[in-house]
Chain A
Amino acid sequence: MKGAALLAILSHWRRHPLQLATLIAGLALAAGLWSAVQAINAEARASYARAAEQLGTAGLARLIPETGSIPIARYAELRRSGWRLAPVLEGVVSFDRQSFDIMGVDLLQHPQAPALAEAAEAESSTPLEALRPPGRIFAHSETAALLSEAQQTHPVTRLAALPRGIAMADLSLASQLLRRPDSLSYLLVLPEQTPGLAPLAELAPELTHLPARAAASDTGRLTDSFHLNLTAFGLLSFAVGLFIVQGTIALSLEQRRGMIRTLRSLGVPMRLLSGLFIAELAAIALAAGIAGLAGGYLVAAALLPGVNATLAGLYGASVDGSLSLRPGWVFSGLAMTLGGAFLAGAQSLFALWRLPILAAPATLARGQQASRSHMFSAFCGAASIAAGLIVLYFFQGLVAGFAFLGALMLGAALLLPLLISAGLSVGARMAKGALAEWLWADTRAQLPGMSLALMALLLALAANIGVGTMVSSFRLTFTGWLDQRLFAEVYVTATSDAQGAELAHWLEAQGITVLSRRYHDTRFKGAPLRVYGFEDDEAYRSNWPLLDASPDVWDQTASGKALLINEQLARRHKLAPGSILEIKPGWRLPVAGVYSDYGNPNGQAMVSLPALQKHVPSLPNRNFGLRADPQEITGLIKLIRQEFDFPRENITDQATVKTRSLAVFDRTFVITAALNLLTLGVAGFALLTSLLTLWSQRLPQLAPVWAMGVTRRQLAAAEVLRSLILAAGTAVLALPLGLVLAWVLLSVINVAAFGWKLPMYLFPLDWLRLFMLALLAAVIAAALPAWRLSRIDPADLLKVFANER
């Protein structure tokens, strides 16, 4: 009996292959986009973790200085109190015009030492040789090649296990290269501490104890927002996919009611029947899940370069390696698909379970319940938005921002049916002529079957408007900001301090204004801080993009009595003009102004150059901005090239710098654009499937109209028109939702994620384009049902009057 019942149940799909395809495609889409996002996140996280592990810092807590650095005497004291700590000194060193990140470690204490020792031995050196002049640099083979090219003094050992771009060396060499013989950047707290030691908080109150999780990587912390963003997108796609599936499952069960009644009448117990339906759904979900994973893998592989560009552009974080199949996202993808399928099918399965044995296999009288369910759904929607607002009001930060966004989107989606229904009533009241009235009324009657697809469309359109507005506003602000920041006409980088001095001298002799840009890297409250020294010039006073400032900001700053900080630093530590900031122990200055500094994840400060030189001797002096008449730029560059032996890329004019910066910016949002398009595609597909689903149920409603003389062609046109009306209504409603979304992204998410707030600009042309896109999607989605309708055999329409169904 089991076999026969199963065959009977499954025979449905042979008669409705398109329905099966829709179900599988919907589930696969949901699973695919979700797992693509998960795969990307997993890959990026693994990459950060790998970097931390390769640097030997994984899983270890750190002691970091509040300001500046840790004196080595302090390190020795803490060691002598019994704590096993490994010292690290970080900095940037230049060899032959190229900068390298140097990580200096005590090769005798560092957790990564065995790998370094082994690598050194493989090159027939002993690990201890790396402790003696000329020292030894360890680097990934790519970085090692650059290092060997840039300098020959220190032998370089290739070590594939190190992350790219980092040069590791013993402290004896690193402290010499960085000219910091007495200080350390931070201390790693090694595993295996002797029991009974005095707590570090007591021994070193001036150092912040960063637990292993928080210390996992600065990169990880910074990029969390990006990954949260991706996850939100993935979840959105998943939800849209489930909308598709929900309708299809409901339909497939509804269409099998006659068969269910027959089977039950023949003695198949309901328990068995339900079990079979569940097994069927599970099998379909599994198949779709696997297909989705395969698709997700391809999508992720295609998107990964874009993600890398984004991460590199926004955070300077690099994700290397190609995509690999990780059990984490494979299983989570399958579980999500199964869970999602049952969630989507739950209502239908439950209804089936409660069905009286001889219930008529009629179509549900959906329309009659519609207005009641619209009200309920709208009430839930309003509640969801209210809850989101409460979260936003009481909590801050990234998660609260995303929680609000989620609640807002869900709430708006739930409000949609009521709003559209109200709009259709208005349309119906204004309609003239029987056919027009029928069209409005019919559209309204179809609304319950379409509402899930319309919700999907609403979400996709709003996401597009919101994210699009955010990116475009960002770009506009960024362009304006570049104009302010890059006021020098020519930028030159000298190859050495000596050449820098020579160049400055020569330029001044030519009567050219030279603004040297020198900086010192330090740490403030554990995070990197770059302190720029600037020379007082009218150009700063008239151009520099200040967001907030005390009255005599430039006089105060130029005289060395105050400093300027970037917006990120101000927001992160709640600093404002008047707050005091300690740059180095004993060097405290009041904040005189806050300037915008987009595209930089780290804190930055500006002080007058003489003040910086006084506190930090031997600042590198290689970067210069030159003021010149726009007509003379080409000549000036030529002249400098003749006079000095510079590589080409060391001299650039303002326009080139701007073009390059914008190129980086645009690359940064490649991934966003791609995901936007994918989400819209999914929503279009949802529209198509719901129209296809409705199609088979609509014959009983269309047949009478046809019988009254409306041609099939007219009916087909009405079909398309109906789809257009619904899509247009949804698009109109998506606009305000999208703008709210954009506002949240600009004023809440951006602040939490990057530390800068962006002004919002409106781009009506983009909306128009999107509106047209929505209509196009509606036409495409309605095209197949309409085409079928226009070609339907009149006999099929006549049959409606002949039998029940």
Chain B
Amino acid sequence: MNANIILVASSLIWATAVQPQGYAGLGTDAEGFAIPKPDTRLTFPADHGLHSDFRIEWWYLTANLEGADGADYGIQWTLFRSALAPGEAAGWQSPQIWMAHAAVTTKDKHLFAERIARGGVGQAGVQTHPFSAWIDNWQMRSADETLEEISLSASGMEFSYDLNLMADGPLVLQGNAGYSVKSASGQASHYYSQPHYMVSGTLSLPDGPIDVTGHGWLDREWSSQPLAEDQSGWDWFSLSFDSGEKLMGFVLRGARGDFTSGTWISADGTAEPLAPGAFQAQPLNISDVQGREMPTHWHASVPDKGVSVEILALNPQSWMGTSFSYWEGPVAVIGSHSGKGYLEMTGYE
């Protein structure tokens, strides 16, 4: 990994976001950035594009795939935007900084790569007509302004992938009509998802290319103050059950108690926000992940929905050793419901 990126990017959003003392001032002072409001109604396709008045934003896609060889795979494609100041300017004066992560996970390998770019010069950005999000030669592209059908590509030193995704259901607004509360004191973000992608394409791995098919999940989120001061990290689950139902749930770990939230998505795509505390997750097993103790085996439950499942990492070593490092990888679900999904864990430094 290029050392300079680590150093420079260490002061990007994430690093400060998950320091034990919390969001280093950003949670309390928005410095001219817009703040998510509960009465904001999301409109599309406009909200697929960027919100440069907000400090941070991401286009976050994960997919659980199965290869022609019968093996399980997971891929991640994430474009982060972080603004040094609100708004946009031309050329090098742009206050926008872009960062992207891509990964391919197998049972015994976790390959990842990172790219960083300045806004304003065209090296990275997001357009809505037609929709396109890119950094260098990594891209997420649609033929029109919707996200119904997109193509996705990225490459690192040891891997690359080229995938087609087709939505098999509606967009899902998380939280309260897309307003997702992140702490008891009211920190929030705008958050919607497209969890219904059918995926097909090719992964290129050190052993050669492999055709894959599976299911993908896109998260779109923007905010200026996502964490409360006492919060140090989160465990986030996106689970697709074989029944066709889906569950998004997260635990924000805080010194003054954890904050949990989630959304239940029925098979037809209807979304139902879960009451605070309705989603629960407990670590069952701790793995040593590159010198850190991390829970890679969980129990999650939503009693109201009759959900009581165990969640197991496909590869417990799915560590993203990027500028801002975290755990992100595919999981298998067994118990009251079976299925697959993705797990993200931050703040385990």
CB distance from A168 to the nearest CB of B (A): 14
Q: Determine the distance from Cα of A136 to Cα of B171 in the docked complex, in whole angstroms.
A: 44
Residues facing B in A162-205 (CB within 8 A) are: 170-172, 175-176, 181-182, 190, 192, 194-196
**A655 surroundings in chain B (CB, below 8 A):** none
CB distance from B96 to the nearest CB of A (A): 10
Q: Which of A76, A110, A126 contacts B121 (CB 8 A)?
A: A76
The segment from B48-56, B153-161, B233-241, B265-273 that touches chain A is B153-161
The segment from B2-10, B182-190, B195-203, B245-253 that touches chain A is B2-10
Q: Which of A72, A84, A132, A170 contacts B91 (CB 8 A)?
A: A72
Contacting pair A79 B91 (CB below 8 A) = no
Decide yes or no: A113 and B122 within 8 Å by CB, A81-B137, A108-B116, A128-B84 being known contacts: no
Whether, in the assembled complex, A82 has its beta carbon less than 8 Å from a beta carbon of chain B, the answer is yes
**B118 surroundings in chain A (CB, below 8 A):** 106, 108, 131, 171
Q: How many residues of B contact A (CB 8 A)?
A: 30
Whether, in the assembled complex, A96 has its beta carbon less than 8 Å from a beta carbon of chain B, the answer is no
**A112 surroundings in chain B (CB, below 8 A):** 4
Whether, in the assembled complex, A18 has its beta carbon less than 8 Å from a beta carbon of chain B, the answer is no
Q: Select the residue from A76, A108, A109, A113 with max chain B CB neighbours within 10 A.
A: A108
Chain B residue with Cβ nearest A112: B4
Q: Which of B7, B93, B122, B137 contacts A172 (CB 8 A)?
A: B93
Contacting pair A82 B137 (CB below 8 A) = yes
Whether, in the assembled complex, A721 has its beta carbon less than 8 Å from a beta carbon of chain B, the answer is no
Q: Determine the distance from Cα of A486 to Cα of B209 in the docked complex, in whole angstroms.
A: 70
**A81 surroundings in chain B (CB, below 8 A):** 137
**B177 surroundings in chain A (CB, below 8 A):** none
Q: Determine the distance from Cα of A84 to Cα of B123 in the docked complex, in whole angstroms.
A: 11
Contacting pair A117 B7 (CB below 8 A) = yes
Contacting pair B137 A109 (CB below 8 A) = no
Q: Which of B9, B12, B123 contacts A80 (CB 8 A)?
A: B123
Contacting pair A79 B97 (CB below 8 A) = no
Contacting pair A114 B3 (CB below 8 A) = yes
**B97 surroundings in chain A (CB, below 8 A):** 108, 128, 131
Q: Select the residue from B9, B117, B121 with max chain A CB neighbours within 10 A.
A: B121
CB distance from B116 to the nearest CB of A (A): 5
Q: Determine the distance from Cα of A605 to Cα of B93 in the docked complex, in whole angstroms.
A: 33
Q: How many residues of A contact B (CB 8 A)?
A: 38
Whether, in the assembled complex, B29 has its beta carbon less than 8 Å from a beta carbon of chain A, the answer is no
Whether, in the assembled complex, B254 has its beta carbon less than 8 Å from a beta carbon of chain A, the answer is no
CB distance from B9 to the nearest CB of A (A): 8
Contacting pair A128 B11 (CB below 8 A) = yes
Whether, in the assembled complex, B95 has its beta carbon less than 8 Å from a beta carbon of chain A, the answer is yes
CB distance from B322 to the nearest CB of A (A): 14
Whether, in the assembled complex, B42 has its beta carbon less than 8 Å from a beta carbon of chain A, the answer is no
Contacting pair A192 B157 (CB below 8 A) = yes
CB distance from B276 to the nearest CB of A (A): 35
Residues facing B in A221-267 (CB within 8 A) are: none
Contacting pair A172 B134 (CB below 8 A) = no
Contacting pair A126 B3 (CB below 8 A) = no
CB distance from B3 to the nearest CB of A (A): 5
CB distance from B59 to the nearest CB of A (A): 17
- Chain A window 595-632, contacts with chain B (Cβ cutoff 8 Å), 1 for yes, 0 for no: 00000000000000000000000000000000000000
Chain A residue with Cβ nearest B84: A132
**A118 surroundings in chain B (CB, below 8 A):** 7
Contacting pair B11 A170 (CB below 8 A) = no
Decide yes or no: A80 and B137 within 8 Å by CB, A176-B93, A181-B92 being known contacts: yes
Whether, in the assembled complex, A273 has its beta carbon less than 8 Å from a beta carbon of chain B, the answer is no
- Chain B window 116-141, contacts with chain A (Cβ cutoff 8 Å), 1 for yes, 0 for no: 11100111000000000010110000
Q: Which of B85, B117, B122, B134 contacts A72 (CB 8 A)?
A: B122
Q: Determine the distance from Cα of A82 to Cα of B139 in the docked complex, in whole angstroms.
A: 11
**B117 surroundings in chain A (CB, below 8 A):** 79, 108
Decide yes or no: A175 and B84 within 8 Å by CB, A108-B8, A195-B157 being known contacts: no
**B5 surroundings in chain A (CB, below 8 A):** 108, 113
Whether, in the assembled complex, B90 has its beta carbon less than 8 Å from a beta carbon of chain A, the answer is yes
CB distance from B244 to the nearest CB of A (A): 38
Contacting pair B84 A194 (CB below 8 A) = no
CB distance from A184 to the nearest CB of B (A): 10
Contacting pair A79 B4 (CB below 8 A) = no
Contacting pair A114 B85 (CB below 8 A) = no
Contacting pair A182 B157 (CB below 8 A) = no
Chain B residue with Cβ nearest A75: B121
Chain B residue with Cβ nearest A73: B122
Decide yes or no: A175 and B11 within 8 Å by CB, A80-B134, A82-B137 being known contacts: no
**A117 surroundings in chain B (CB, below 8 A):** 4, 7-8, 11
Q: Determine the distance from Cα of A81 to Cα of B136 in the docked complex, in whole angstroms.
A: 7
Q: Which of B7, B84, B91, B116 contacts A182 (CB 8 A)?
A: B91
Whether, in the assembled complex, A107 has its beta carbon less than 8 Å from a beta carbon of chain B, the answer is yes
Chain B residue with Cβ nearest A76: B122
Q: Determine the distance from Cα of A509 to Cα of B123 in the docked complex, in whole angstroms.
A: 53
Residues facing B in A196-217 (CB within 8 A) are: 196
CB distance from B144 to the nearest CB of A (A): 21
Q: Determine the distance from Cα of A112 to Cα of B8 in the docked complex, in whole angstroms.
A: 11
**B134 surroundings in chain A (CB, below 8 A):** 80
Chain B residue with Cβ nearest A128: B11
Residues facing A in B5-27 (CB within 8 A) are: 5, 7-9, 11-12
Contacting pair A132 B95 (CB below 8 A) = yes
**A131 surroundings in chain B (CB, below 8 A):** 84, 95, 97, 118
Q: Determine the distance from Cα of A609 to Cα of B11 in the docked complex, in whole angstroms.
A: 48
Q: Determine the distance from Cα of A37 to Cα of B131 in the docked complex, in whole angstroms.
A: 64
Q: Which of A84, A171, A192, A195 contacts B92 (CB 8 A)?
A: A171
CB distance from B241 to the nearest CB of A (A): 37
**A114 surroundings in chain B (CB, below 8 A):** 3-4, 7-8
Q: Which of B2, B91, B122, B136 contacts A175 (CB 8 A)?
A: B91
Q: Determine the distance from Cα of A77 to Cα of B84 in the docked complex, in whole angstroms.
A: 24
Decide yes or no: A72 and B4 within 8 Å by CB, A80-B136, A194-B156 being known contacts: no
Whether, in the assembled complex, A684 has its beta carbon less than 8 Å from a beta carbon of chain B, the answer is no
Decide yes or no: A76 and B123 within 8 Å by CB, A82-B137, A192-B2 being known contacts: yes
Q: Determine the distance from Cα of A126 to Cα of B136 in the docked complex, in whole angstroms.
A: 26
Q: Select the residue from B7, B90, B157 with max chain A CB neighbours within 10 A.
A: B7
Q: Determine the distance from Cα of A232 to Cα of B209 in the docked complex, in whole angstroms.
A: 58
- Chain B window 141-165, contacts with chain A (Cβ cutoff 8 Å), 1 for yes, 0 for no: 0000000000000011100100000
Q: Determine the distance from Cα of A128 to Cα of B91 in the docked complex, in whole angstroms.
A: 17
Contacting pair B156 A128 (CB below 8 A) = no
CB distance from B211 to the nearest CB of A (A): 18
Q: Determine the distance from Cα of A368 to Cα of B209 in the docked complex, in whole angstroms.
A: 84
CB distance from A58 to the nearest CB of B (A): 14
**A196 surroundings in chain B (CB, below 8 A):** 155, 160
**B12 surroundings in chain A (CB, below 8 A):** 128
CB distance from B66 to the nearest CB of A (A): 25
Contacting pair B116 A109 (CB below 8 A) = yes
Contacting pair A194 B7 (CB below 8 A) = no
Chain A residue with Cβ nearest B82: A128
CB distance from B115 to the nearest CB of A (A): 8
Q: Determine the distance from Cα of A182 to Cα of B91 in the docked complex, in whole angstroms.
A: 7
Contacting pair A170 B92 (CB below 8 A) = yes
Question: 8 shortest A-B CB distances, which residue pairs?
Answer: A76-B122, A82-B137, A113-B4, A172-B92, A171-B92, A114-B7, A114-B4, A117-B7
Q: What 19 additional pairs, Cβ within 8 angstroms, besides A79-B136, A109-B4, A109-B116?
A: A72-B121, A75-B123, A82-B136, A106-B92, A108-B5, A108-B9, A108-B97, A108-B116, A112-B4, A113-B8, A114-B8, A117-B4, A126-B11, A128-B97, A131-B97, A170-B92, A172-B93, A190-B2, A192-B157
Residues of B within 8 A of A (CB): 2-5, 7-9, 11-12, 84-85, 90-93, 95, 97, 116-118, 121-123, 134, 136-137, 155-157, 160
A sample of 26 inter-chain contacts (CB < 8 A) reads A75-B121, A76-B122, A79-B123, A79-B137, A82-B155, A106-B118, A107-B8, A108-B5, A108-B8, A108-B118, A113-B4, A113-B8, A127-B8, A128-B8, A128-B11, A128-B97, A170-B92, A171-B118, A181-B91, A181-B92, A190-B2, A194-B137, A194-B155, A194-B160, A195-B157, A196-B160
